[in-house]
Structure 1
Amino acid sequence: MPCLLAPSALLPSGWARNVRIDILEDGTIGRVTPDAEPQGDRMERLAGPVVPGMPNVHSHAFQRAMAGLAEKRRDPADSFWTWRERMYRAAHTVGPDDLSAIADYLFIEMLKSGYTTVGEFHYLHNDTDGTPYADPAEMSARLVRAAADTGIGLTMLPVLYMRAGFDGAPLETAQRRFATDEERLLKILESLRWHGRDSANLRVGIAPHSLRAVSVDVLRHIASALPEDTTIHIHVAEQMREVEDCIAATGARPVELLMAEAPVGASWCLIHATHVLHDELADIAASGAVAGLCPITEGNLGDGVFPLPEFLTVGGRYGIGSDSNVTLNPWEELRLLEYGQRLTHGRRCMSLPEDASGSIGGAMYRAALTGGAAALGQPVGVIAEGFRADLAVLDRNRLSQPDAEEDDILDTAIFTGASLPVRDVMVGGIWRVREGYHPQEQAARAAFAATLRKIAA
């Protein structure tokens, strides 16, 4: 049984020094011992402070292929909706082998940044002309394989996508590749469980795309057909036009409608939930659902700013996600989340409940760990016995305050970092990144670059 000795580590009780972490054969954490003495040849001394690896609650892997290519104005009213048309075109260039190459490199980038598990909100189910693949999970299985090959934990979330709008309009031509119904979704789930039968780091949930794409009746029915603790993710209230269209069609706002009509609970993650009222925030918090916040993508698309301080004050939970994968950096996600609040409110240190005080970086990192682990249904986010050994070793040479201790480490890493502060990354008891390098990254980058050239041709 190997064991690690961390000079300091973030434990559930707070920061501790000289922490011995025993790793069990199944990749979980055994005993954790603060103030331990170095002993034995089998104890590996780590080179920097250790924190739990960050869960990434929301990713669309294929969108990594268009990162940086949607930054040209072609319409004076450029918005999320014009970006969506560009994204649809990109989606129709990606075949199964292309997705494998994109996902391999993407997951390596995530690991190097400090993400150790990811929720893949996946909707490229059919061939580019809308014809179903022989295996309904053909594309989803490519992501499962990529996660296993690169070593990242994965919560696979195949998307249910049935209509084009709140009024029940049929799917547009550009959306036929996403088309699923309840029966096909259940087949995808069955196939995914088979493809991932040997993976200890895989969980399978579902993702009704949005209330635009799935009716509340179908949402209730599919939720009732699955085990009660099934992980369920859904986009909601990302854009004001979505809110307005929902009110016009149903007489209710999206979050209001979802909370009233669907069995939302602690296994749910509401992605974005940007445009919400106070009562809706309180309802989300009371349900136990996690808000899946993606500040870099939300900023890139002009979505808006989630009202985080108000949500925290009513007891809400959140996780962070890389979404469109335009940037892979959990530290920057947290920084932008806080800076969005400062720019909105004209005050500093906002990401705490109103009556709380203390380290903003420390509070945000802990909150994103807890919320992210819950949103993905994974035993991660904690350095404690029984949890998966997902760890990130930080590099003091990359911190602007190299002698920082305890939560000053997280404040420095989040708010002053010009480069990723991560040195080594472990997932399930296996080192996947050492000294900032993943052993497969050179080959994966070459395959990724070749794929980009191919799909751009």
Structure 2
Amino acid sequence: MRRLILDHALLPHGWARNVGLDIENGTIDAVHPDASPEGRERIAGIALPGLPNLHSHTFQRGMAGLAETRGPEGDSFWTWRQVMYRFLGSLTPDDVEAIAAFAMMEMLERGFTSLAEFHYLHHDAQGRSYGDIAELSGRIAAAAHETGIGLTLLPVFYAQGGFGGAAPSEGQRRFINDVESYSRLLEGARKAVAGLDNAAVGIAPHSLRAVTPEGLNEVLAMAGEGPIHIHIAEQTKEVEDCLAWSGQRPVAWLLDHAPVDRRWCLIHATHLDRDEVKGMAKSRAVAGLCPITEANLGDGIFEGVDYLAEGGVFGVGSDSNIEISAPGELKQLEYSQRLKHRARNVLAAGEGDSTGRTLYEKALAGGAQALRRRIGVLAPGQRADIVVLKPDHPDLAAVSGDRWIDAYLFVASHSAIDMVMVAGKPLVKDGRHIDREVITARYVRSMRHILS
């Protein structure tokens, strides 16, 4: 058992001082506010539960910044996607692992302690399966093992190129499976994570445009009680194409044709009408919001005010990893709502409430639900995932309580992070991952190979 004492910690009932944590096999066994320091390892600073990252494509970290040159026509998500297809052309399994490890390392350094990896890169550059169909899932698992991040691996089912069973394009050939090969892929992914301490597997039908209704039903039967994630209603063109195909908007169609419940995470859900907002909130599915990527791609702004008013649940993810920052995602979420409504402190729970704490606690709860893991709270029975902020950081030194979180999210960002633990193991010290040099060197070698 590891016995810690935290100077300050955010517990389920609020802030506490001198918090004793008893950690057994990575899980919090007991919490003791106002504990004696005798026989305990002191962790100086301000301790928060680690934030779950509920949506990422780690390989896209390698193309960050490569799609910021204006093209001859109006740039959009769809032109960005063509850059992504070209980037995939030379990625080897070693590259996939190196980029994933670098992205996961940055996630840990920047406040995320667990990850739902929406993994749709399965085959070689010609679209052929590797000898082990789950080869690249294994590389994601290996990166998680090296970095120590808690992993929920979501192998993606991607079968079509558009609504109504349209044939996939050449750029999508590395993603494609039928139901039978996906079943084998899923089994391989489960074997790949079996040796990890903090890992689980769910399923991810890519989107309504990439699966048929029949295929969706078949892969849902493979989910069991695990998480189910799906991209939906990210772009207005996607909404228009879904209407043309089915006569319904994407979220409305999904709610009518699938058993959407607490297991589900609906990624983006950017473009909702009023009925969809209500239906999605009522389903208790998690809205998987990726505000930095959604801004970078020009997706649009989520209906945050109406959704929360209906009791909706949300979490945040880093998606394309154009900029990895747990506090940055929450800040961008609030700022997008401020721009939309021309107001301030829009998502705070009520008068007198901290916007930062409201955002952080809601994202903790939604992220834990989306990953289907016992995380996101410093309480007995929960994995000991902890982010410790520097008490002497200039933006935190003169404040206390909820102002610490406000300063962390809106001012200091990840520069305020001192230590990060996953399952009670320190992985980040003095703001740097313990294996930063090795992971970074391998990433740089891969990027030079890819971009040469």
Spell out the pairing of 1:372-391 with structure 2 (5 A cutoff).
Answer: 372-391=367-386
Q: Which one of the candidate residues 315, 325, 334 is aligned to 1:329?
A: 325
User: 1:159 aligns to what?
Assistant: 156
Indicate yes or no: 2:415 matched with 1:454: no
**Separation in structure 1 between the aligned mates of residue 415 and residue 369 of structure 2, nearest angstrom:** 25
User: 2:434 aligns to what?
Assistant: 439
Residue pair 1:2, 1:22 contacting (<8 A) in 2 also = yes
Q: Which one of the candidate residues 394, 399, 414 is aligned to 1:404?
A: 399
Indicate yes or no: 2:302 matched with 1:303: no
Segments of 5+ residues of structure 2 without an aligned counterpart are none
Q: Which one of the candidate residues 225, 235, 238 is aligned to 2:234?
A: 238
Indicate yes or no: 2:255 matched with 1:259: yes
Indicate yes or no: 2:356 matched with 1:361: yes
User: 2:366 aligns to what?
Assistant: 371
Equivalent residue letter for 1:157? L
Residue pair 2:109, 2:414 contacting (<8 A) in 1 also = no
Pairwise CA RMSD: 1.2
| Corresponding residue SS for 2:334 | helix
TM-score, structure 1 as length reference: 0.97
Q: Output one character per residue of 1:314-355: Cα deviation in whole Å (capped at 9) or x when no partner.
A: 0000010000001110101111100100111011111145x6
Q: What is the count of residue pairs matched by the alignment?
A: 452
Residue pair 1:396, 1:403 contacting (<8 A) in 2 also = no
Residue pair 2:202, 2:227 contacting (<8 A) in 1 also = yes
**Separation in structure 1 between the aligned mates of residue 123 and residue 403 of structure 2, nearest angstrom:** 48
**Quick one: percent identity of the two aligned structures?**
48
Segments of 5+ residues of structure 1 without an aligned counterpart are none
Spell out the pairing of 1:192-211 with structure 2 (5 A cutoff).
Answer: 192-211=189-208
> Could you tell which deviates more after superposition, 395-404 or 172-181?
395-404
| Corresponding residue SS for 1:350 | coil
User: 1:51 aligns to what?
Assistant: 48
Indicate yes or no: 2:316 matched with 1:320: yes
Spell out the pairing of 1:21-420 with structure 2 (5 A cutoff).
Answer: 21-24=21-24, 26-40=25-39, 43-227=40-224, 229-352=225-348, 357-417=352-412, 419-420=414-415
Residue pair 1:398, 1:419 contacting (<8 A) in 2 also = no
| Corresponding residue SS for 1:401 | coil
Following superposition, the deviation at residue 9 of structure 1 comes to: 0.4
User: 2:15 aligns to what?
Assistant: 15
**Separation in structure 2 between the aligned mates of residue 91 and residue 285 of structure 1, nearest angstrom:** 36
Residue pair 1:329, 1:420 contacting (<8 A) in 2 also = no
Following superposition, the deviation at residue 238 of structure 1 comes to: 0.2
Following superposition, the deviation at residue 17 of structure 1 comes to: 1.1
**Separation in structure 2 between the aligned mates of residue 166 and residue 133 of structure 1, nearest angstrom:** 28
Residue pair 2:134, 2:185 contacting (<8 A) in 1 also = yes
**Separation in structure 1 between the aligned mates of residue 37 and residue 223 of structure 2, nearest angstrom:** 48
Q: Output one character per residue of 1:24-54: Cα deviation in whole Å (capped at 9) or x when no partner.
A: 1x110011010112112xx111120100001
**Separation in structure 2 between the aligned mates of residue 418 and residue 62 of structure 1, nearest angstrom:** 24
